[in-house]
């Protein structure tokens, strides 16, 4: 199924013309090979992600000029073809693509909306590993989420912060931007030397060049969904510590929030230690927190190994929540956006567990409060009516209520097994709602249909808590 023919400009042009013809015709296969799908048919974001390949590694090399807002990037994407591929897509919003290659050879590319199509000179065979590079530049524009929030590359007074849940990461690098395709990352950041640059994982090098810029390299070894990739560029004060005996903790805070946040930042290793007791081994080789003072960021996010907080949201409950996401959401990642309650329900339940320990508020009281709140009953947690409702209260609070009812049904001992066993079984993988109900039933040793029917799937608020 390899394409024959001569190499060079004529062949590249012919390939480009064929790619355009395929796209224009909406062709899904046939005489000229098989392009990968333009989306993974997520129930809420059908065009997010792409079919036909599985990314192993992203190497992003990014230079940012905060004065102009211009980003210059190269993304090197190493992936395995999961089908024969005559062409494949990457998600990318805005920016200008300058050049693309596949396995070192120039590849024809085409853009339509948020889809970037690359057509290698030769069809990629199922099962082979390939490397695609995209060289791009421009001033990144945030992506507006269906709920009206803005994410992606957010420009701040001094620099930028990038947050991607659910679809923002396509605003700053091309990729397979669906949570089901997790990969390792190396992110290289070049910024004016007065600024600090942080990202996920551990910093493996820092070099100051003669041109007044500093380049840092960040290595995120464990698989990461692209919505959890981040950069923070700005006038941060950074600090390092160790948690759990050997896990490096990198914290960063903008100066105006430094004093107020110092006490809680110091508690991070202790909170992680408590969570390891409850949820089992910490899944990552780095930890930390970043506190921004700029009002650009509207909410905290569990960006992998380095959650980010607006200063106003940096409180104990939110820190507990975002750290719990490292197990629930980041290591065990929702299979689709429909399964987000598995992240938010567990992270909310982690807050309830912590409030019992640190504030003497029994979990039963947190449950009763959530039960009484009418907003929490707008829809079942795994069934937001539209993408605009993905982060609504039922996903969080009703999600946590499902877990509490599970605990009441199976008993404390089995529930503790689930709290540790679930993140162990799906460590660094993806899991769906059905995976969860099946797993809970396997630990319980019995079917739990009644529980799911009422608490997880029921449209109505139950009469009794
Ligand atoms: N997952 C974040 C949390 O920790 C919230 C993200 C909200 N995102 C949004 N697009 N509204 O709860
Ligand atoms: Zn959350």
Structure confidence by residue, pLDDT tens digits, 411-434 = 999 999 999 999 999 999 999 999
Output helix, strand, coil percentages for the chain, rounded to the nearest 5. Answer: 35, 30, 35
Ligand 1 midpoint to CA 326 (Å): 14
309 lines ligand 1 (CB under 6 A): no
d(CA 39, CA 115): 9
* Full-model pTM: 0.93
The answer to whether 222 and 423 are in contact (CB under 8 A) is no
Residue 68 class from Cβ within 10 Å (0-12 exposed, 13-18 middle, 19+ buried)? exposed
250 lines ligand 1 (CB under 6 A): no
Q: Find all residues with CB under 8 Å of 338, minimum gap 6, and list them.
A: 42, 43, 44, 382, 383, 384, 432, 433
78 lines ligand 1 (CB under 6 A): no
**Mutation probe of ligand 1 site: the residue of 391, 392, 396, 397 with most atoms within 8 A of C-beta:** 391
* pLDDT for the residue 294: 86
145 lines ligand 1 (CB under 6 A): yes
- 3-class SS of residue 154: strand
The alpha carbon of 24 is separated from its chain's Cα centroid by a whole number of angstroms, namely 31
- 3-class SS of residue 276: helix
Q: Find all residues with CB under 8 Å of 211, minimum gap 6, and list them.
A: none
- 440 vs 241, 366, 397, 411, 443, CA distance in Å? 36, 22, 19, 12, 5
CA atoms 127, 131, 135, 136: torsion sign: positive
- 3-class SS of residue 348: helix
* pLDDT for the residue 452: 98
In Å, the largest CA–CA distance within the chain is: 74
d(CA 232, CA 253): 10
299 lines ligand 1 (CB under 6 A): yes
Ligand 1 midpoint to CA 301 (Å): 6
The residue nearest atom 8 of ligand 1, judged by CA position, is 165
Residue 312 class from Cβ within 10 Å (0-12 exposed, 13-18 middle, 19+ buried)? middle
150 lines ligand 1 (CB under 6 A): no
For 7, phi then psi, to 5°, come to: -95, 175
Q: Give the closest residue to 451 by CA, choosing from 413, 407, 415.
A: 407
Token duo for residue 290: 């970043």
Q: Give the closest residue to 322 by CA, choosing from 287, 373, 363.
A: 287
147 lines ligand 1 (CB under 6 A): yes
Ligand 1 midpoint to CA 146 (Å): 13
The answer to whether 122 and 193 are in contact (CB under 8 A) is no
* pLDDT for the residue 32: 59
Looking at the CA of residue 325, tell me the nearest atom of ligand 1: 4
Residue spans of the chain under pLDDT 50: 1-15, 17-31
Question: What angle separates helix 255-279 from helix 316-324, to the nearest 10 degrees?
Answer: 50
- 411 vs 324, 349, 352, 417, CA distance in Å? 22, 16, 17, 10
314 lines ligand 1 (CB under 6 A): no
The residue nearest atom 4 of ligand 1, judged by CA position, is 301
Ligand 1 midpoint to CA 342 (Å): 13
32 lines ligand 1 (CB under 6 A): no
Residue 328 bridge partners (DSSP): 332
Calculate ∠ Cα 303-59-226, nearest 5°. Answer: 30
The answer to whether 463 and 413 are in contact (CB under 8 A) is no
165 lines ligand 1 (CB under 6 A): yes
**Mutation probe of ligand 1 site: the residue of 297, 301, 329 with most atoms within 8 A of C-beta:** 301
392 lines ligand 1 (CB under 6 A): no
Tell how strand 429-431 and strand 332-334 pair up: parallel
Task: Report residues near ion ligand 2: CB below 5 Å.
Answer: 344, 347
The alpha carbon of 34 is separated from its chain's Cα centroid by a whole number of angstroms, namely 29
Residue 80 bridge partners (DSSP): 54, 129
Locate tokens 């990729």: which residue? 175
- Residue-wise pLDDT tens digits, 165-174: 999 999 999 9
351 lines ligand 1 (CB under 6 A): no
Looking at the CA of residue 145, tell me the nearest atom of ligand 1: 10
For 370, phi then psi, to 5°, come to: -65, -40
Residue 152 class from Cβ within 10 Å (0-12 exposed, 13-18 middle, 19+ buried)? buried
- 3-class SS of residue 4: coil
122 lines ligand 1 (CB under 6 A): no
Looking at the CA of residue 318, tell me the nearest atom of ligand 1: 4
Token duo for residue 407: 């605990």
If phi > 0 it is left, if psi is from -120 to 50 it is alpha, else beta; for residue 232 that is: beta
Q: Find all residues with CB under 8 Å of 123, minimum gap 6, and list them.
A: 1, 2, 3, 33, 34, 84, 85, 86
Token duo for residue 354: 């912590």
Token duo for residue 285: 């080789």
Token duo for residue 220: 């995120």
Tell how strand 105-106 and strand 143-144 pair up: unpaired
């Amino acid at each position: 199924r390899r394409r024959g023919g001569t190499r060079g400009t004529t062949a590249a042009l012919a390939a480009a013309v064929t790619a355009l013809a395929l796209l224009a015709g909406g062709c899904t296969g046939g005489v000229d090979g098989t392009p990968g799908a333009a989306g993974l048919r997520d129930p809420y974001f059908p065009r997010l992600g792409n079919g036909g390949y599985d990314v192993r590694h992203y190497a992003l090399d990014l230079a940012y000029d905060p004065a102009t807002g211009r980003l210059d990037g190269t993304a090197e994407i190493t992936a395995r073809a999961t089908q024969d591929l005559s062409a494949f897509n990457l998600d990318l919003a805005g920016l200008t693509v300058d050049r693309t290659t596949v396995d070192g050879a120039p590849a024809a590319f085409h853009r339509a909306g948020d889809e970037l199509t690359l057509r290698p000179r030769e069809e990629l065979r199922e099962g082979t590993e390939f490397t695609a590079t995209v060289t791009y530049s421009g001033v990144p524009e945030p992506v507006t989420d269906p709920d009206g929030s803005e994410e992606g590359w957010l420009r701040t007074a001094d620099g930028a912060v990038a947050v991607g849940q659910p679809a923002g990461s396509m605003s700053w690098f091309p990729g397979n931007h669906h949570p089901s395709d997790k990969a390792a990352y190396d992110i290289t950041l070049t910024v004016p030397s007065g600024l600090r640059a942080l990202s996920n994982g551990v910093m493996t090098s820092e070099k100051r060049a003669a041109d007044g810029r500093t380049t840092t390299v960040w290595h995120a070894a464990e698989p990461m969904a692209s919505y959890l990739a981040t950069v923070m560029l700005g006038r941060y004060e950074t600090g390092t510590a160790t948690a759990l005996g050997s896990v490096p903790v990198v914290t960063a805070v903008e100066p105006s929030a430094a004093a107020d946040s110092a006490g809680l930042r110091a508690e991070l290793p202790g909170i992680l230690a408590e969570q390891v007791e409850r949820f089992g081994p910490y899944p990552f080789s780095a930890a930390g927190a970043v506190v921004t003072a700029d009002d650009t960021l509207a909410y905290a996010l569990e960006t992998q190994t380095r959650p980010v907080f607006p200063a106003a949201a940096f409180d104990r409950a939110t820190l507990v929540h975002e750290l719990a996401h490292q197990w629930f959401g980041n290591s065990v990642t929702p299979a689709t956006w429909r399964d987000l309650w598995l992240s938010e329900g567990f992270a909310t339940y982690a807050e309830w567990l912590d409030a019992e320990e640190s504030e003497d508020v029994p979990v039963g009281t947190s449950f009763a409060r959530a039960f009484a709140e009418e907003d929490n009953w707008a829809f079942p947690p795994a069934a937001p009516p539209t993408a605009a409702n993905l982060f609504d209260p039922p996903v969080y609070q009703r999600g946590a209520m499902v877990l509490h009812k599970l605990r009441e049904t199976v008993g404390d001992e089995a529930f503790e097994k689930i709290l540790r066993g679930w993140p162990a079984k799906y460590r660094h993988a993806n899991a769906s709602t059905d995976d969860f109900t099946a797993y809970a039933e396997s630990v319980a040793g019995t079917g739990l249909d009644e529980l799911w029917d009422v608490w997880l799937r029921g449209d109505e608020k139950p009469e009794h808590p």
